[in-house]
Amino acid sequence: MEDKIREIKVDYLARVEGEGRVYIKIRQGKVERVEVGIFEAPRFFEAFLRGRKYLEVPDITARICGICPLAYVMSSSRALEKILGINVSKEIEHLRRIIYLAEWIESHVLHVAMLHAPDFVGCENVFEMYQRYPGFVKNSLKLKAWGNRVIEVIGGRPVHPVSCRVGGFHRVIRKDELLPLLDNIDELKRRAREFLEFVLKLPMPDVRRDIEYVSLKGEEKYPILRGRIVSNKGLDAAEDEFENIIRVEQAPYSNSLRYKIKDRGTYVTGPIARFNNNYDLLKPEVREVIESHGYRAPLVNTYQSIIARAAEVYHAVLEIEELIREYKEPQYPYVEGEVKAGHGAAITEAPRGMLYHFYELDSEGYVVNANIVPPTSQNLAAMEEDLTHIAPILSEMNYEKAQWLAEQTIRNYDPCISCSVHMVKLIIDKE
């Protein structure tokens, strides 16, 4: 029999943040190799954080990612606050929630409208998308602009905002600064609903794979700043236990480390995991739209992550409105802690999923050790499993279509490759 080999290569993944490639080798219809390689250059954040003062850490780690800097600010601030014995006031937590939800809007809309939706309708890029669906693209950009505006008002600028710090904010953000953000709120809510409706009508590949979805669990509200780590397969752990429940691997073809749950295997973190694990905490208005289009939790494949993202955008708009109306200015902009030696870890929900930070400080507040685990690194192994799962479909398609579907499958994760090549202090896999 002829040895039928098919290689599918994507040398430079487009419409993602950062630099990655895909390589798939199929022999006689069977997958031999699937590699999601990251050639983004290493930057060694954890190495150069050593010796930096704790107050600098949120600003420095924000530079791991220009799309989700606030996620880095929030995870690092919370981990450091645990060391310094800081409990932020309700008002500060409230304001953090507003600015962080706004980052979800900015990041999700960018991904859904400009990077991912084009795959579902066969467009090469957002400019072509705009020719075919001008209403959707304009609507999306207005939502994205509003998310950025919320970040700018609270944080000074949308990318790498400057007002946040360990313990809170550098100055009190006044209620009269926030209220104008609600000037056109009814129009924005309508836009967010229409955005979700457009996504719910997209054609969805019919693929099913058994996946463990891991996210934080919200208590009263949809999770973003804190929560226990849970999954649809019974995982339930505190954030401090994270390094004990995961296993780290390095692949020769990739500058990013990858993660699995010990004794269980790959998992997916991100909007789809949050959605599946916290569906009842989404605003009723959001669930109503989803259910009227025949969907509900659990979403069954990672292509449907686009639905979770759009749902979170609508949810975030509704919740930000509520939070701004309820907001009371704090008496002090930040809480000072007691500088002392110690270590602390925290997880928050970045737009792309769980973002873990760990720090050890010396008695003067300078960093001794750091470990950061971004969501994209956690998802890399699952991306490869998704590709392995659809390999029979890929091997039957013409080359261009197979290449495109492979790319789309990676884009399901909204991979932030800049983040994934953040530098990780190692828990070495000795198996």
Q: Which is nearer to another protein, 145 or 300 (CB)?
A: 145
If you search the block for the tokens 């060694």, which residue do you land on? 44
- Spatial CA neighbour of 389 closest among 167, 211, 153: 211
Angle between helices 134-155 and 185-200 (to 10 degrees): 130
- Spatial CA neighbour of 243 closest among 356, 353, 341, 361: 356
Q: Which is nearer to another protein, 127 or 399 (CB)?
A: 127
The reply to whether 332 sits near another protein by the rule CB under 8 A is no
Please identify which residue in 42, 122, 135, 180 interacts with another protein, judged by CB under 8 A: 42
Distance between CA atoms of 128 and 189, rounded to whole angstroms? 26
Verify cis geometry, omega within 30 degrees of 0, for the bond prior to 298.
yes
Q: Which is nearer to another protein, 190 or 296 (CB)?
A: 190
Site for another protein in 283-302 (CB under 8 A): none
Least Cβ distance, residue 100 to another protein (angstroms): 17
Q: What is the β-pairing status of strands 353-361 and 342-350?
A: antiparallel
The reply to whether 275 sits near another protein by the rule CB under 8 A is no
- Beta partners for 86? none
Q: Which is nearer to another protein, 39 or 300 (CB)?
A: 39
Q: How far apart are the first and last CA of the chain?
A: 38
Distance between CA atoms of 415 and 378, rounded to whole angstroms? 10
Site for another protein in 380-409 (CB under 8 A): 404, 407
Is residue 285 classed as helix, strand or coil in its secondary structure? helix
Least Cβ distance, residue 60 to another protein (angstroms): 6
The reply to whether 346 sits near another protein by the rule CB under 8 A is no
CB 355 within 8 A of CB 347: yes
Least Cβ distance, residue 208 to another protein (angstroms): 27
Site string for another protein, 3-22 (x = CB under 8 A): ---------xxxxxxxx---
Least Cβ distance, residue 378 to another protein (angstroms): 17
The reply to whether 56 sits near another protein by the rule CB under 8 A is yes
The reply to whether 67 sits near another protein by the rule CB under 8 A is yes
Distance between CA atoms of 127 and 115, rounded to whole angstroms? 11
Q: Which residues are CB-neighbours of 56 under 8 A, at least 6 positions away?
A: none
The reply to whether 148 sits near another protein by the rule CB under 8 A is yes
Least Cβ distance, residue 230 to another protein (angstroms): 28
Please identify which residue in 37, 58, 158, 353 interacts with another protein, judged by CB under 8 A: 158
Q: Which is nearer to another protein, 112 or 200 (CB)?
A: 112
CB 222 within 8 A of CB 279: no
Q: Which is nearer to another protein, 69 or 344 (CB)?
A: 69
CB 171 within 8 A of CB 164: no
The reply to whether 204 sits near another protein by the rule CB under 8 A is no
Q: Which is nearer to another protein, 286 or 339 (CB)?
A: 339
Please identify which residue in 82, 108, 116, 165 interacts with another protein, judged by CB under 8 A: 165
Site string for another protein, 94-133 (x = CB under 8 A): ----------------x---xx--------xxxx--x---
Which DSSP category does 426 fall into? Answer: -
Is residue 222 classed as helix, strand or coil in its secondary structure? coil
The reply to whether 36 sits near another protein by the rule CB under 8 A is no
Site for another protein in 210-269 (CB under 8 A): 248, 250, 252, 255, 257
Least Cβ distance, residue 406 to another protein (angstroms): 12
Distances (CA, A) of 358 to 43, 216, 345, 415: 18, 17, 4, 22
